[in-house]
Amino acid sequence: MIQTIPFGHTGHDSTRLLFGAAALGGMRQDKADATLTIMRDAGINHIDVAASYGEAEIRLASFLQDYRREYFLATKTGDRTYDGARASIERSLRRMQIEQLDLIQLHNLATDREIHQVFAADGALRAATKAKEEGLVRFIGVTGHGTRIAEMHLKSLSQFDFDSVLLPYNPMLMRDDTYAEEFETLYEKCREDQIAMQTIKSIARRRWQEGDTSPRFSWYEPIRDEEALRRAVHWVLSREGVFLNTSSDASLLPAIIEAASDIYPITNEDIEGDLQSQAAEPLFVRGVQDNV
């Protein structure tokens, strides 16, 4: 059984495993329905999607007509202006055929320039707060990728009381001493202020290698070895209070669910052995490769 804990100060107890609906973006409807059945049967009660995830919001619509009240539903807007973000929020509501979002997230605020744009008088944050005032959304979060994102989230939180953050967290990335220090600072702030911390890229192995002909259901190559995947999930969920978003590779969903249902302690030796056996590489390299 997957543990549930408070999702920050929202009043909702979310399963620690959140369904990453990016997996639905390129699927036919029947395949999406089957994937959502797997999610539902596992007891997951929190769905994370985005306006930019292909047809994912559309694929969710029929499911939400039956089960909307049972799920905490989050989406994201990558728009930086008031008009763009407002249109994005309204489009998401139409596509999913719903009247309210639980969480709207400002997607990938990873640079000072983007933060400045979003916080401007005509920026996306005003659209999010206006939508909250109107009852179109209940909570507002911030997300991002790259080696600077923990630092950027701390900057964002210094200017606005976001309800949640989302960022990468895996052993390879935490080898970056600066990222690790900033992550720990962010983690402590989230704990103190009851801000939900969502993690992504938990089962990332590396970026795709040239000549690799494996099916590409995510933009990075995931860990596929069952035991290494299990330990990667356990490594994340062994940290108290964090949530883990499932991979956009839906073929791995059953294995991730199974791993999250029975957490046991993971040693540093186990993780180091997996990083070596999997030939793991960082998805993001500071000052060199910080983009998806």
pLDDT tens digit string along 213-243? 888 889 999 999 999 999 999 999 999 999 9
Q: Is 21 a domain residue?
A: yes
Domain count within the chain: 1
Q: What is the CA radius of gyration of the chain?
A: 18
- 283 domain-assigned: no
CB neighbourhood size of 292 (10 A): 12
Q: Is 286 inside any structural domain?
A: no
Let me know if residue 81 belongs to a domain: yes
Q: State the residue for tokens 């999607």.
A: 49
Q: What is the residue whose two structure tokens read 């999913």?
A: 96
Q: What is the DSSP letter of 28?
A: -
The token duo for 97 is: 């055929």
Using left for φ > 0, alpha for ψ between -120 and 50, and beta otherwise, residue 163 falls in alpha
Non-local (6+) Cβ contacts of 39 within 8 A are 19, 47, 253, 257
Closest CA relative to residue 78, chosen from 131, 128, 153: 128
Q: Where in the sequence is the domain holding 67, given as residue range(s)?
A: 4-209+216-277
End-to-end, the C-alpha distance of the chain in Å comes to 33
pLDDT of residue 287: 85
Tokens of 167: 């960022």
What size, in residues, is the chain?
A: 292
Residue 292 lies in a domain: no
Distance CA 113, CA 111 (A): 5
- The two three-digit tokens of residue 229, written as one number: 């995947």
Here the CATH number for the domain that contains residue 225 is 3.20.20.100
Q: Assess if residue 291 is contained within a domain.
A: no
The pLDDT, as a whole number, for residue 279 is: 92
159: buried, middle or exposed (CB in 10 Å: 19+, 13-18, 0-12)?
Answer: exposed
Instruction: Identify whether the C-beta of residue 272 lies closer than 8 Å to the C-beta of residue 249.
Output: no
Query: pTM here?
Result: 0.96
Q: Mind listing the pLDDT tens digit for each residue in 14-52?
A: 999 999 999 999 999 999 999 999 999 999 999 999 999
DSSP 217: S
Could you report the per-residue pLDDT of 152-201, keeping only the tens digit for each?
A: 999 999 999 999 999 999 999 999 999 999 999 999 999 999 999 999 99
Residue range 121-134: mean pLDDT, rounded: 98
> Is residue 134 classed as helix, strand or coil in its secondary structure?
coil
Whether 168 maps to a domain, the answer reads yes
Do the domain assignments include residue 273? yes
How many C-beta atoms surround the C-beta of residue 219 within 10 A? 13
